[in-house]
Structure 1
Amino acid sequence: MAIGIIIYVGAKYQFLLKQEYMKNYEALTFILFSSIFPIGIGILLRLPKLIIEIKENRQWTFDWAKFMGVGLPSLGVLSMCVLIFTPAGEYFIPLVPEVMYSGNFTIQTIAGVVFGFILLDSVKK
């Protein structure tokens, strides 16, 4: 229930930021929130399982293979979406696929949720 409320409030705030972006044409705050919020959602989705694992008496480990194989590529996709809206992004636009800067934030949202989930899923106890 709490995760649903957080998603609802975050989506409402993201909508307000998008309206502000449409008025002032300052995209950076909207883009940053649109990138960080899905990471938080991915973390929240994995958090209950991590709490259960914390209660077990085992040694902490980190699954580097999962993090490097899934987490880093999703972080790369997410950072490309943010990078093109920064002042240095004009140099990277030829390197970024068009689908990432066409105004469709689906790829950015999926990459953020995957990265947040994998970040906590890589931590094992």
Structure 2
Amino acid sequence: MKTSIRVAGYLLYTALLIFGLWLLFYYDAVLLEHRKMTFEYWPYLWYNTLYPILIGIFLALPSFVRTFRSYGPWKFDWILFVTVGIPTLLGTLSVCILFSPVGPYFSVFSFFVTVQNLQMVCGIAFGYFLLYCFQKSP
């Protein structure tokens, strides 16, 4: 009985993940059309920055729920957040930083624009590690 509930939970999670990805990519296409018609690129840039983070958070949700159900006091893994989380956050925000008024001063972020899909990979990693850094002590 417990195994069937677990399987049903993972099937529901997978269905919600697929529907959420479809919704996010559909809204991405809508914002891209809006950008092409109005030449307003900031909403599209911010959305392109934030939706990979949402994907990463959703991917980390099963392990976070498992951690949430365990006993013990909460702790935050600062070492993991500083060494992995902050660099991936900067990689995610790189396009927004580059096209902002301070962009010419941070030309090191141009690397993230030239490598295809690196911003998305950094966003997914940041979203995942954002939840993964919350742990419970035994």
TM-score scaled by length of structure 1? 0.88
Cα distance in structure 1, aligned partners of 2:71 and 2:20? 31
Q: Unaligned 5+ residue runs, structure 1?
A: none
Measured on the aligned residues, the alpha-carbon RMSD in Å equals 1.7
Indicate the residue corresponding to 1:84 in structure 2: 98
Following superposition, which runs of at least 4 residues in structure 1 exceed 6 angstroms of deviation? none
Cα distance in structure 1, aligned partners of 2:113 and 2:32? 15
Conserved? CA contact 1:74–1:115, under 8 Å: yes
Indicate the residue corresponding to 2:12 in structure 1: none
The alpha-carbon deviation at position 101 of structure 1 amounts to 3.4
Indicate the residue corresponding to 2:7 in structure 1: none
The alpha-carbon deviation at position 23 of structure 1 amounts to 2.1
Bigger Rg over Cα: 2
TM-score scaled by length of structure 2? 0.80
Conserved? CA contact 2:94–2:113, under 8 Å: no
Tell me whether 1:121 sits opposite 2:132 in the alignment.
yes
Matches within 5 A, 1:1-125: 1-89=15-103, 91-92=104-105, 94-97=107-110, 99-102=111-114, 104=116, 106-125=117-136
Q: Unaligned 5+ residue runs, structure 2?
A: 1-14
Conserved? CA contact 2:77–2:135, under 8 Å: yes
Conserved? CA contact 1:75–1:115, under 8 Å: yes
- Give the secondary-structure state (helix, strand or coil) at the position aligned to 1:26: coil
The alpha-carbon deviation at position 100 of structure 1 amounts to 3.1
